[in-house]
């Protein structure tokens, strides 16, 4: 078995020693070098060509961000993992945009460290053309064949876990090396940027005010990079700005993203409005979230009914969230009432979910062994790209869904 080679970069000798100690018993990981500043790190990365570089941000001379950028360009087969202290979100974002693949917040456990090294290394080994990879944040060339899959996370009921699922699913897909974008259509105060610890300057509201939305390179400049590789189109920063976004914009943006990403995940607002309906119409898959309580089941039933009347039901998958909250409704009764079984069942796990939301670190990255993270990973692993492009056909054969809803 070949060992994963690691270069440790940190200016504090005791931190490097701690990392060595943490990895001492990991038989599949081997530390091949240590550097105490950016220049040394760049030189050693070029000489040693390690699988993974563990990179501190605050270094004397060339800092960890600039060093990451140089290493990502010079040695594209090396995966960079940033090791940072709490309270450096802005730097973490910059490091990710500079080409870092993952991050660890100090202090981290032996398990977190070894798992992160294995994960980024596995992703890099899986990639067929790593040398063609660009650092996140740079323009990607337009793809010739639109083949992406649009996944809309929806429920007409608030608080069923749409944003939690959207963020974690999108990050999870991005972690497997797929090109993934996430659109926050919860326009009146969407939480995606907060959950992913992004501080975007531009959002969908500014994008739609651009003249030529059909330019992919333009859309791309509005996407905020997350360190998982995911690209995020954030919701407007102020609710009053939401009004400028119209259903036609959603179609144009999703068409662009579908042509350029393997997966386009769309988080929605709990309402059957024309914006959500545009997204639902373009969706290849609709993930309908609900929880184990009567109001939520009632909403899910109505949502399924409306989807059926709109000929969308073949796209719908049910996601039962917080399934372990047993307040007297049996899962078998839910299934009977909805006449369908959930495709995914997620447990109730307040500790994991809330601490992940509050820190802005998706739990699929930070609590990889939790059941909820595992369930989302299993679901993501089974996800396939569509063979044909439904959404583009849907745009061609467009008929207003909002009109159809009211004429039911």
Ligand X SMILES: Nc1ncnc2c1ncn2[C@@H]1O[C@H](COP(=O)(O)OP(=O)(O)OP(=O)(O)O)[C@@H](O)[C@H]1O
Subset of 325-354 contacting ligand X (CB under 6 A): 346, 348-350, 353-354
CB of 151 to ligand X, least distance (A): 15
> Which of residues 116 and 181 has its CB atom nearest to Mg ion in the complex?
181
HSE, side-chain direction, 13 A CA sphere, residue 368: 14
- Which 262-301 residues touch ligand X, going by CB under 6 A? 270
Residue number with CB closer to ligand X (89 or 159): 159
107 vs 158 by CB, closer to ligand X = 158
Among candidate residues 299, 289, 294, the one with its CA nearest the CA of residue 379: 289
**CB-nearer residue toward Mg ion: 120 or 192:** 192
The answer to the question of residue 322 lying near ligand X (CB under 6 A) is yes
DSSP 366: H
Residue 256 binding result from Mg ion, ligand X, none, given CB thresholds of 5 to 8 Å by partner type: none
Told to check if 186 binds ligand X by CB under 6 A, we report yes
User: Judged by CB, which is closer to ligand X: 10, or 267?
Assistant: 267
Distance between CA 334 and CA 296 in Å, rounded?
10
Which tokens hold the place of 81?
A: 């993992």
> Binder to ligand X among 170, 242, 372, 376 (CB under 6 A)?
372
Query: Cα angle at 357 between 355 and 361, to 5 degrees?
Result: 90
Number of residues that bind ligand X (CB under 6 A): 20
At residue 12, what are phi and psi to the nearest 5 degrees?
Answer: -95, 120
Cβ count within 10 A of residue 256 = 22
Kindly list the strands in the beta sheet with 29-35, ordered across the sheet, starting from the edge strand earlier in the chain.
29-35, 4-9, 52-56, 79-85, 102-106
| Residue 161 binds which entry of Mg ion, ligand X, none, CB below 5-8 Å type-dependent | ligand X
* 234 belongs to the binding site for ligand X (CB under 6 A): no
Q: How far is the CB of 222 from ligand X (least distance, A)?
A: 22
- Residues numbered 71 to 130 that lie near ligand X (CB under 6 A) are none
With respect to ligand X, which residue has the nearer C-beta, 96 or 373?
A: 373
Q: Rg for the chain (alpha carbons), in Å?
A: 22
Kind plus residue range of the DSSP H or E element containing 104: strand 102-106
Contact indicator for 310, 405 with CB cutoff of 8 Å = yes
Q: How far apart, in whole angstroms, are the C-alpha atoms of residue 219 and residue 222?
A: 5
> From the list 62, 244, 331, 357, which residue makes contact with ligand X (rule: CB under 6 A)?
357
Least distance (Å) between residue 162 CB and ligand X:
3
Which lies closer to ligand X via its Cβ, residue 186 or residue 366?
A: 186
Smallest distance from the beta carbon of 191 to ligand X, in angstroms?
Answer: 6
Distance CA 233, CA 248 (A): 16
Closest distance between ligand X and the C-beta of residue 268, in Å? 8
Residue 65 vs 153, nearer CB to ligand X: 153
The CB-of-166 to Mg ion minimum distance in angstroms stands at 8
Per DSSP, the chain holds a count of helices (H) and strands (E) of 18, 13
Cα(323)–Cα(91) distance, integer angstroms: 37
Strands 102-106 and 79-85, by their bridges, are: parallel
Site for ligand X in 148-167 (CB under 6 A): 158-164
Q: Are the beta carbons of 143 and 278 closer than 8 angstroms?
A: no
Residues that bind Mg ion (CB under 5 A): 162-163, 186
Residues engaged in binding ligand X (CB under 6 A): 158-164, 186, 191, 270, 321-322, 346, 348-350, 353-354, 357, 372
């Amino acid at each position: 078995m070949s060992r994963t080679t690691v270069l440790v970069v940190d200016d504090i000798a005791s931190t490097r020693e701690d990392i060595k100690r943490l990895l001492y018993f990991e038989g599949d990981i081997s530390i091949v070098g240590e550097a105490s500043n950016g220049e040394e790190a760049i030189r050693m990365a070029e000489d040693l060509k390690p699988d993974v570089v563990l990179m501190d941000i605050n270094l004397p001379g060339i800092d960890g961000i600039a060093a990451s950028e140089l290493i990502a360009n010079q040695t594209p087969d090396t995966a960079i993992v940033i090791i940072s202290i709490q309270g450096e979100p802005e730097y973490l974002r910059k490091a990710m945009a500079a080409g870092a693949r993952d991050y660890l917040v100090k202090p981290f456990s032996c398990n977190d460290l070894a798992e992160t090294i294995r994960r980024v290394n596995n992703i890099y080994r899986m990639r067929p053309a790593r040398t063609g990879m660009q650092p996140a944040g740079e323009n990607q060339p337009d793809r010739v064949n639109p083949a992406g899959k649009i996944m809309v996370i929806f429920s007409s009921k608030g608080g069923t876990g749409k944003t939690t699922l959207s963020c974690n699913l999108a990050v999870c897909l991005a972690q497997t090396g797929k090109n993934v974008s996430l659109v926050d259509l919860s326009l009146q105060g969407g939480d995606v940027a907060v959950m992913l610890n992004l501080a975007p300057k531009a959002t969908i509201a500014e994008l739609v005010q651009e003249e030529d939305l059909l330019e992919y390179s333009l859309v791309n400049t509005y996407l905020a990079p997350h360190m998982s590789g995911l690209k995020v189109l954030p919701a407007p920063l102020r609710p009053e700005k939401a009004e400028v976004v119209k259903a036609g914009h959603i179609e144009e943006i999703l068409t662009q993203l579908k042509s350029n990403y393997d997966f386009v995940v769309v988080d929605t607002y709990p309402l059957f409005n024309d914006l959500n309906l545009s997204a639902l119409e373009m969706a290849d898959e609709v993930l309908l979230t609900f929880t184990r309580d009567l109001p939520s089941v009632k909403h899910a039933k109505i949502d399924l009914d409306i989807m059926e009347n709109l000929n969308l039901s073949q796209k719908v998958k049910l996601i039962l969230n917080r399934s372990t909250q047993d307040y007297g409704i049996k899962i078998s009764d839910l299934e009977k009432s909805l006449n369908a079984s959930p495709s995914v069942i997620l447990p109730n796990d307040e500790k994991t979910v809330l601490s992940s939301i509050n820190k802005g670190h998706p739990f699929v990255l930070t609590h990889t062994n939790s059941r909820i993270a595992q369930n989302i990973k299993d679901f993501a692993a089974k996800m396939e790209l569509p063979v044909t492009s439904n959404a583009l056909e849907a745009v061609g054969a467009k008929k207003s869904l909002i009109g159809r809803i009211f004429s039911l």
